[in-house]
Amino acid sequence: MKTDKKSKPSKSDTKSTTARRKKERILIIDDESTFIEACRRTLEAKGYKVSAASNAAQAKEMIKVDPVLIILGTMAPAGQAFTMYQWLEQHPRYKEIPLLIIDARYEERPIRGWRRFEGIQVDGDEYLFKPIEPASLVPRIQSLLEAATRKIRVLVVDDHTMVRTGICSVISLQKDMEVVGEAVDGRDAFDKALRLLPHVALIDIVMPVMSGIEATKMIHKECPETKVLVLTQYDEEENMIIAKQSGAYGFIPKKAASSDLIRGIRYVSQGKYYPTPFAELVIQ
């Protein structure tokens, strides 16, 4: 009996990948020159272009070259990196750039690292700590760039047409997302999750035929590739706990800003819990 074997990438495939990377620029923001140079050597050897900035003012100039990814490292005094992070998050042009955060060594955090209350507020795509080998950043960078170029397939589930229409309109404005289907109740959601295989299912809690909680349990069991993000007007902690127990990866009130919804979709599509209070819930 014949078995399929994975074919090795050809030389032409390797060359095309390297050529593509030569057009991809990574911006490193960090005030440790040795760390920057080590990262530069590693990334340039992999075909990436590298720009570097040692402070926020330089970073705001260098970012104009449109990097495909930003490595936000450490800057003294403590708090500078978080201020830079906030600027990036609020900038209409740069807020969607994948972000790899690298905090200071434990003993240096009071000087140039992220203070604890700052770290809790950070929603970077990756959060790492020094010391770290630059070579270990390469697969993470590749993964983040691949995630940024794929479209997140979303199933929208709500028994109100106007709500579904509004959510679909917000999602349609995102370059990295597409609505692959709509469902009007929990049973419909489960059937379409099995058939359409979305990355994320946005599910209301209270619906006819089958509740969103029951649908979440079934999707979590039978279609684990689909991550459920509960979107509801019932945002009490009790419902958050029930949602997490059922297998949901996120919980967002309907009254939340559309930016929170979009961020939540991106987060749970990567298998991460969102937001932080939901992630920190301890389920017995």
Q: Do residues 242 and 211 lie in contact, with contact meaning Cβ atoms separated by under 8 Å?
A: no
- CA distances in angstroms from 45 to 25, 69, 102, 138, listed in the order given: 13, 17, 21, 11
Whether residues 159 and 270 fall in one domain: yes
Q: What sign for the dihedral angle of Cα 135, 136, 137, 141?
A: positive
- Answer whether residue 223 is part of any domain: yes
* 92 lies in the same domain as 123: yes
Choice among 68-72, 118-122, 140-144, 147-151 with the minimum mean pLDDT: 118-122
Shared-domain flag, residues 229 and 137: no
The model's pLDDT over 154-178, given as tens digits with 9 standing for 90+, comes to 999 999 999 999 999 999 998 889 9
Domain shared by 72 and 178, yes or no? no
Do 244 and 266 sit in the same domain of this protein?
Answer: yes
**Beta carbons of 23 and 48 less than 8 angstroms apart:** no
Q: CA-CA distance, 180 to 197, in Å (whole number)?
A: 9
Transcribe 150-217 into DSSP letters: SPEEEEEE-S-HHHHHHHHHHHHT-TTEEEEEEESSHHHHHHHHHHH--SEEEE-SS-SSS-HHHHHH
Q: The domain that contains 121 carries what CATH number?
A: 3.40.50.2300
Residue 204, in any domain of the structure: yes
In the predicted structure, residue 118 carries a pLDDT above the cut 80: no
Domain shared by 213 and 244, yes or no: yes
Which position has the higher pLDDT, 155 or 112? 155
pTM, rounded to two decimals: 0.59
Percent of the chain surpassing pLDDT 90:
59
Kindly state whether residues 22 and 136 are assigned to the same domain. Answer: yes
Any residues with CB less than 8 A from the CB of 246 and at least 6 apart, and which?
213, 214, 216, 217, 220, 228
Do residues 119 and 217 share a domain?
Answer: no
Same domain (yes/no): 175, 132: no
- Residue 8 falls within a domain, yes or no? no
Please identify, among 133, 148, 163, the residue that sits at the C-terminal boundary of a domain.
Answer: 148
Other beta carbons within 10 angstroms of residue 154's beta carbon come to 25
Flag whether 263 is in a domain.
yes
The dihedral built from the CA positions of residue 218, 220, 225 and 227, taken in this order, carries a sign that is: positive
Query: Which residues span the domain enclosing 240?
Result: 151-279
Q: Please state the domain count of the chain.
A: 2
